Structure 1
Amino acid sequence: MMQFDTWKTILVAFVCLAGVAYAAPNLMQKGIGDDLPMGVPGKQISLGLDLQGGSYLLLEVEADVVVQERLEAIVDGARRALREARIGYVGLGVEGDAAGFTLREPADLERAREIAAELDSDATVSVEGDRVALTMGEEAIRQIKINAVQQSIEIVRRRVDETGTREPLIQRQGIDRILIQLPGIDDPQRIKELIGQTAKLTFHLVAVGADAGRPPPGARTLPMLEGGDIVIERRVMVSGENLVDAQPSFDQNSQPVVTIRFDSAGGQRFGRATSENVGKPFAIVLDGQVISAPVIREPILGGSAQISGRFSVQEAQDLALLLRAGALPAPLTVLEERSVGPGLGADSIAAGEIAAVIGLVLVVGFMVLCYGLFGIFANIALFVNIILILGALSALQATLTLPGIAGIVLTIGMAVDANVLIFERVRDELAAGRSPINALDAGYSRALTTIIDSNLTTLFAAVFLFALGSGPVKGFAVTLGIGILTSMFTAIMVTRLFVALWARRRRPTSLPI
């Protein structure tokens, strides 16, 4: 008689009940289990952009800005180092992909070369006459751009996550582009503003008495949020890189402000800067604009400060979010923007449902016509398989896309493939003269290798599609891979359980197959 151990029966029952528990919430009101922790039954399948609508953005990282800033940093470092070494120079600045200066005294050449070599390890120092130049090589520039794009992706992801957007897709596309899909977001304007703002925060001393039209060396003119221009020193006293927290709050006059907190190094630097410059104005610069320039009344030693600038409550909240997420290394340009309405997603779901129902009806009819009672067993296992797929997608919180629905429809056909192999093998064993029970045992045991081989090859394809593909291809690979695993389980375990129970009860002298 066909052997089916008790532990296998318990395993089948447990897996099927778990599948029902995870799949059932999809029949309930939308969003009912959003607050539940990961892995707990109650969550629903996350629909992709093409199914529930949302926004699509394609951004370009202006990585050349990072290279330019790197060269400008070399210029600032050279200015300080040459002054400290009392080396005269002229023509200090950036030209193309190089920063350089011309010495007043040729005798200072060797010392100037040593200073230049210490300014940036990625820059190559060259000398032509009295001119010293630091050039960024092609490999160094390429690595700077790659790092800028990677860092931009992580910061964009943090900013999007802060807004509460569920299941966003954020990935690199090409060399310097970022693809963003935001399911459920039908008005991308605020998200676009949050993503596109660089949010580079720095603190500078104000060059008091300087002419805004002709700033002195080591200073620059910037516009103020309240209007007009102001001259600030180029040297950064404290930067936003030292921030560990930023929260919106209100000052004593009930005006929205942003309270920031520095790490230990930033707090010490901020305290030292305010202690040494009491009575002087201190400019707070955000993305090249001076938000405010308050006078330092007393040293600020606690590592915390407030940023004010006539914000609205929403502006204060957004600024705090940006500062918490971190500054982008380079500006982002929106190359393409699309909004997918929920109506289109509903149409896609409806079309997918129709395709799934048609495929299901045809498969069920075929199995019953070809294999009779055993076909009914296979069809029951097929419905269990669909429940397990939905349960797995809900448990893993995998995003279901339109290609993912195609993967499920394909799996419906593939799910009975293993049963077909088994039943045909059983027929062969019966034709060879075996008894019904021996034919069933032999059919299952001898078809197992073929089933595993055929499904593993498809599973490998799904794994490679997921690893190497992107977007819709990954969605198809996820549902296909899950479907292969569940179909193997239902064919080898669930259908065999039904057949074994029937055989033990009826002790047949012939098989209805």
Structure 2
Amino acid sequence: MKKTKRNAVLVIIAFLLILGVAIYTAIFGVADRGKVEYIKLGLDLKGGLSVTYEIQEDDYSDKDLEDTKYKIEQRVEAYTNEYSVYEDGDKKITAEIPGVTNADEILNALNIEGKLEFLDPDNYTKWSQGQEYEAALTGDDIKNATAGIDSDNGNDNVVQLAFTDEGAQKFADVTAANVGNIVYIIYDNKVVSAPTVQSAITGGSAEINKIGSYEEAEQLATTIRIGALPLTLKQVRSNIVGATLGSDAISTSLKAGAIGIALVFLIMIIVFRIPGLVASFALAFYTILDLLVLNLFNVTLTLPGIAGVILSVGMAVDANVIIFTRIKEELADGKSVKQAVKGGFHNALSAIIDGNVTTLIAALVLGIFGTGTIKGFAITLAIGVVLSVFTALAVSQSLLTALVNLGVTDAKYFGVAREPKKTNFVKAGKFCMLGSLIVIIACFCMMPVNNKSKGSPLNFSVEFAGGTSLTVGFDKEYSLSEAEKDIVPVIAEAAGIGEAGISVQTVSGTNEIVFKMPELSDDGTDDSQMSKVRSALTDKLGADVKEANVISGSVSSEMSKNAIFSVILAAILMLIYIAIRFHDVKFGASAVIALLHDVAMVFCLYIILRLTVGNTCIACLLTIVGYSINATIIIFDRVRENIGVMKPKKATYKDIVNLSINQTFSRTIYTSLTTFVTIFVLYIMGVASIKEFALTLMAGVVIGAYSSVCITGPLWYYMKTKLGKTEKDA
């Protein structure tokens, strides 16, 4: 007994020491690492580098332009997952990259003038002598190039090439005709590599080997990727720009987050008593650990990234709620506290694992196939999911077990579950499903009405629809908050548009500010929106509009396709996983249908309220994809458990579903409440640009709780008893 208590004391002391070290590292850092302030922030939170290129060709297609933008995005991804690339006026493309500490390095690496060509020996001779020549391949034929190490050949540094379908055939032809000869790779009129062909290469990929160092291999791969741009670009301008969400966005979000987490701790302690106190320490450790890992992996944090962090905090709370609810049930069955704690963690394990694995599947798919904002969200979510499982199953369990071993064994400190209510959710479910269907259909029918009356079915942001960019010079330097307060209202009133649709970026070292907004009419008359804005800025503020451009959306068609593909693939994989784990495809089908319901219901808000459909919308919908499925899994886990216990006793599926939902109802409420509270505080305290995001997230939490209780279980019941050859309920 003495040894058990001694070990328990050591566990608590070790945890407090580790927590203290983590907090110290987060505040002060260790060897210039670890400090929270070192976390990279995106364009929306901190600003970064804006570089503009001019297209050198006079004749090019829309496809050439889109392909060029997409490949610039791929190049920028070498530095960050968060970026913005868009068409900026006539024959110009602008790339915005967060972080300014390595601006010169990035500018040098993005120096994308010139073209890439592969030449056989005969054409190389012509090229070197200034004669007419014909390239075997050009940059258009290259799909990708990556540096690597060939461990099978003495850790040789290599560059692996992937060709387009047409490029693969061209490369097969030139290598077959030049075995033993050199094929020269020319970039910007310089030989960057001269590999000897060892055999005909027909598989659509190739490898350049025997490169001096890995850094040289990486540089060559970068050069080849850059040279794959369909259009030739020349840099014409670069600026350091400010954040787009406002100067107060970070400080207010941090304060709101701290208050929200404190309220979560309070709720957990009130509801779960001693276990709630333990969870508070574990969640504090989780929060610090999450920030340290984000720092360690150099993750760029943006508003969607914050959504991923909020979601993962909610899931960390959820895991503890599941465990502690189970402990209460064990105590209600007459178990001792020690037995209840052990049984609670054991019985909650499958629900926690299944819920987090489904979310992790979504995060991994989005991380692999998504780009930009989507990938940033996926990374923060994946990190959070892994850490939340660890803190719930390792930290919370170790601390709670230690307290029990020290003599905290009075059931009043843990609470005892009450007898679950007997609400007939299955009966109510069909009315809820019908009601939701009517709402969704009605909302989507509003889209053509909006298109006719307001000019567009949705209120697309500049990121999606493009718009007008104004570079304005002032007689003094404005801070971002001053610009939002004093200048944005002037532009909004003159143009007749909402202030929420105008983003602001200061230009470092100048008195210039860049304003982006929906496209302004400009027919040359005094009544055009552009003329009114110019006049208002000049007359009221003495400003000078230095440049006005029509800009494209920064969300490219390829990025949109990748997003849609990622979500569909994630849904399919989650369905398969749930079907396998629960031995019934109807579980997976009903879970995915409910998930689509949640996304559609939140999207209805964007239709009805004309909320801005942009990157914040993407972040919100992805958050719901990750969050809602978890609540469904908890109920299905209890249904699966109750089937094994109740079916042998001739219970009906209706009784099993109703009991399962009633048993997990408190868990749904507590988890939704704690997550809602953190977002609600962000909504109350956040800056205007954050409020719309927080509003839709709050709606998503409420809708997710509603669907998990009122739709998923009843939907599975009707699929189980009404579809196919299956056992019918009495």
The structure with higher relative contact order (CA 8 Å, sep 6+) is: 1
More helix by share: 2
More strand by share: 1
Q: What is the TM-score with the length of structure 1 in the denominator?
A: 0.49
Please identify the structure whose Cα radius of gyration is greater. Answer: 1
Q: What is the TM-score with the length of structure 2 in the denominator?
A: 0.36
